[in-house]
Amino acid sequence: MKPKNLLVAATSAEIIDICGQIQPYQITEINENWSVLVTGVGIVPTVFHLTKALCTNNFRFVLNVGLAGAINKSLSLGETVNIISDEFAFWGSEDNDHFLSVFKTGLQNANEFPFLNEKIVPLKNDFNLPAIQIVSGLTVQTVTGSLKSIKLIQENYHADVESMEGAAVFYVANQFNIPAAQIRTISNYVEPRNRENWKIQESLKALSIVVKPMLESQ
């Protein structure tokens, strides 16, 4: 039996339009080619549950899907993007009014696997990914929602979108030598928090339009 692919999402709500209601924290088979795992929100739950899944199962490809906030305002709400690199935000030290990443302090080599120029780039895959906008990601512990935080991001990073799990998925997949990809739909702009401007339901439907055919054809 050939290894399956693993669909990974932080919450069942993000994939309910794709594969129905999924019980968190356990691997669920959805067809002969795909299984799905809901990890919970954030870096730590994602690392733990994905590592556990990859230790106990033989998967050949990991696809992380969900919603994202757009740092790059040229992206449209409801637009689905392919995130080809990601990085952990504010991983390092404060030096009075300045932030120093672990790479700049020398605590982590910027090109030591699984990092490449301080970012994590997933291993190449031979999957037929959709022809959508290619962007870079930033993985945060706290969803950005203030002018102060936005300024800090702009001063320290050049990412297009932010999520709470992307870099964690790439990190774990790389460590297990498994190709991965990350597809997300823009539900909001990174700006002072105003949920009235968010397009959650519209973005979830847009995400399903892109991802669902992948699960049926590969």
Based on C-alpha coordinates, what's the Rg of the chain? 17
- Which domains are delineated in the chain? 4-217 (3.40.50.1580)
Work out the mean pLDDT of the chain and round it to a whole number. Answer: 94
pLDDT score of 97: 83
CA distances from 170 to 23, 43, 88, 103 (A): 23, 11, 11, 18
The span from the CA of 59 to the CA of 208, in Å, is: 22
Mean pLDDT by groups of 10 residues along the chain of 218 residues: 89 94 94 95 98 96 97 97 97 89 94 96 90 97 92 93 98 97 97 90 97 87
Pairing of strands 98-101, 92-95: antiparallel
pTM of the complete model: 0.95
The span from the CA of 152 to the CA of 132, in Å, is: 29
Please report, rounded to a whole number, the percentage of residues in the chain having pLDDT higher than 70: 99
